[in-house]
Amino acid sequence: MIKIGIVGARGLSVVGAIKAMPDDAEIVAMCDLDEGALETAKAAIGKEDLQLYRIYGDMLEKADIDAVVISTPMQCHVPQAIEALQAGKHVMCEVTAAVSMDELWWLIENVEKSGKIYMYAENYCYIPEVQLVRQLVKKGFFGEIYYGEGEYTHDCTSLRNWHGKTGWRSYWQMGTRGSFYPTHSLGPVMQCFDDDRIVSIASFSPGNHNPYGLRNDDLTQTMCQLASGKLVKLRVDTISPRPHAMAYYQIQGTKGCFETSRLGGQSMIALDTDAERQGCYVWKPLSDYNEYLPERYKSGAGEGAGHGGGDYYIVADFINAIKTNTQPELNVYKAAEWTSVALLSQLSVTNGGRVMEVPNFRKNMSWEEKRIKL
Ligand SMILES: NC(=O)c1ccc[n+]([C@@H]2O[C@H](COP(=O)([O-])OP(=O)(O)OC[C@H]3O[C@@H](n4cnc5c(N)ncnc54)[C@H](O)[C@@H]3O)[C@@H](O)[C@H]2O)c1
């Protein structure tokens, strides 16, 4: 039985999934600075003997836990992950992984040294529709994928304050220039490019016209060049006044393409096998291809969980990674690569769209190689 402690109230998104695995995992402790949040959590988890902590270090020291789910604000992620790893706990950590490049190196070093599981909780990668597209990519329906787009357009301005005070989102999402919250958009698209990695990025913005006095530009567009020479375009926009389109994706291959709707309609696919003739491609609903959805997503196990069930499957993979003692697919290297796009995009946009090299986090790098190259 894997015993789990959660830090940060958003971690309650894992409760349903863990309750659905009563033989494998249980939540035994919860930590939050806010006592009200602790009481809400206790009611949501429905466990009389749930151990409650306000100080994170106390939970790590006193609670009998094997793993922590870190769901605190972004700037807490690396310090709390390292503290947990050094205390011998496995970690599943919310997005984004870190708020500085140095933190990314510390995180990797600590994961490697500890031998513990680190899972990056990029739940959008687990949305069943995303998994369906990934399956179609693997089966070759689109031919060779050479271009992708991901967008996160979510007006978060109403969330910038916390209990009437300037909250963490004001600093780390809307107060920091660049694509500071990129991985919901990048993760699902990058999964369509197999093991390709991002080697350089350049970010551009239309400037700052919002009425809130926020430091970030109204939006940032980032171009990501992959090692293969292929291209991914990313828009992160947490300020513009427009309806949510939190998960807009597009991929283009040599035999067809896929696109979600920014306007709330259904996702569509156009393949050469459905084309009337060369050059006359037609859109068909992605749901016409539902039979290719991987079996686990057909089971309905994730029904009711957030992000179309994604919040269930990600926990299932975390538990499985611990049980099999194998780093998950969303490992610390992917966490670092995708998060570094945010950190380097800040440098790019503040340097007039300068191209920034993305380090290869997957290999052992020397101190010199870790230097950010301007
Ligand atoms: N994956 C997703 O879909 C998704 C959605 C929303 C938020 N997030 C991520 O989840 C994290 C939390 O976001 P949120 O919207 O719930 O934030 P929030 O500000 O609403 O809640 C954060 C909670 O953490 C607690 N907290 C802060 N510092 C703490 C500390 N040092 N020790 C213990 N508790 C502490 C706060 O009291 C609060 O209850 C962020 O990293 C965010 O990026 C992910």
Tell me the CA–centroid distance for residue 167 and ligand 1, in Å: 11
- Alpha-carbon distance values, 350 to 97, 344, 357 (Å): 22, 10, 15
Going by C-beta distance under 8 Å and a sequence separation of 6 or more, which residues neighbour residue 72? 7, 8, 80, 94
Nearest CA residue ID for atom 6, ligand 1: 10
Nearest CA residue ID for atom 3, ligand 1: 123
Q: How far apart are CA 140 and CA 294, in angstroms?
A: 15
Nearest CA residue ID for atom 30, ligand 1: 33
* Per-residue confidence (pLDDT) for residue 298, from 0 to 100: 86
Is the CB of residue 74 less than 8 Å from the CB of residue 170? no
Pick the CATH number of 2-123 from 3.40.50.720, 1.20.1070.10, 3.90.1300.10, 3.40.640.10: 3.40.50.720
Tell me the CA–centroid distance for residue 44 and ligand 1, in Å: 16
Q: What is the CATH number of domain 124-295+329-374?
A: 3.30.360.10
Start and end residues for every CATH 3.40.50.720 domain found in the chain: 2-123
Residue labelled with tokens 């597209």: 133
Tell me the CA–centroid distance for residue 89 and ligand 1, in Å: 20
Q: How far apart are CA 90 and CA 110, in angstroms?
A: 11
Q: One-letter amino acid identity for 254?
A: T
* Per-residue confidence (pLDDT) for residue 360, from 0 to 100: 92
* Per-residue confidence (pLDDT) for residue 54, from 0 to 100: 96
* Per-residue confidence (pLDDT) for residue 301, from 0 to 100: 76
> In the 8-state DSSP scheme, what is residue 307?
G
Start and end residues for every CATH 3.30.360.10 domain found in the chain: 124-295+329-374
Which letter, b or e, does each residue of 35-67 get, where b requires 16 or more Cβ atoms within 10 Å of its Cβ?
eebbeebbeebebeebbbbeebeebbeebebbb
Average confidence (pLDDT) per 10 residues, the chain, 374 residues: 92 84 92 93 90 97 97 97 98 97 96 97 94 97 98 91 84 93 96 95 95 91 98 96 90 97 92 82 95 89 77 93 97 97 97 95 83 79
* Per-residue confidence (pLDDT) for residue 212, from 0 to 100: 87
Pairing relationship of beta strands 256-259 and 161-162 according to DSSP bridges: unpaired
Residue labelled with tokens 């006359």: 280
* Per-residue confidence (pLDDT) for residue 292, from 0 to 100: 96
Helix (H, G, I), strand (E, B) or coil at 202: strand
Tell me the CA–centroid distance for residue 71 and ligand 1, in Å: 5
Tell me the CA–centroid distance for residue 32 and ligand 1, in Å: 9
Ligand 1 atom closest to the CA of 74, numbered from 1: 41
Q: How far apart are CA 302 and CA 120, in angstroms?
A: 19
* Per-residue confidence (pLDDT) for residue 367, from 0 to 100: 83
Is the CB of residue 126 less than 8 Å from the CB of residue 313? yes
- Write out residues with Cβ below 6 Å of ligand 1: 7-10, 31-34, 37, 56, 71-74, 76, 94-95, 123, 162, 168
* Per-residue confidence (pLDDT) for residue 220, from 0 to 100: 97
Ligand 1 atom closest to the CA of 307, numbered from 1: 3
How much is the pTM?
A: 0.95
- Which residue out of 72, 93, 154, 184 has the highest number of ligand 1 atoms within 8 Å of its CB and is therefore the one to mutate? 72
* Per-residue confidence (pLDDT) for residue 230, from 0 to 100: 98
Tell me the CA–centroid distance for residue 72 and ligand 1, in Å: 4
Tell me the CA–centroid distance for residue 288 and ligand 1, in Å: 37
